Amino acid sequence: MVQQIRQNEPQFICVVPVESITGNLDEEIMSFGISVEAAKSEAEKLLASTYRCTLTQIDELMQKAKIEPIAQSCAPKRNIE
């Protein structure tokens, strides 16, 4: 699943380490949303669909998640002429 950062809207990123289910120490998923709850919800959906996690696994993984605002400088800029 690919998400796109929207212009001129607050954006949040949710980073969830998934090494406990994949065995890869560097593996994590990232999801985006216009609020903390939206970013969290997208991450939960991704864990369920991609990794087939149970609700218990999702809860455990989300406890380790980091949710932060994305700086506007990271968002794509529109050409204004």
pLDDT digits (tens, 9 = 90+) for 29-44: 999 999 999 999 999 9
Beta carbons of 11 and 69 less than 8 angstroms apart: yes
Sheet architecture: strand order including 66-69: 28-33, 12-17, 66-69
- Residues in contact with 16: Cβ distance below 8 Å, sequence separation at least 6, in sequence order: 28, 29, 30, 31, 43, 47, 61, 62, 64, 65
pLDDT, position 7? 64
Mean pLDDT, residues 35-59: 96
pLDDT of residue 3: 53
> In this predicted structure, what is the pLDDT of residue 78?
52
Average pLDDT over the chain, rounded to an integer: 85
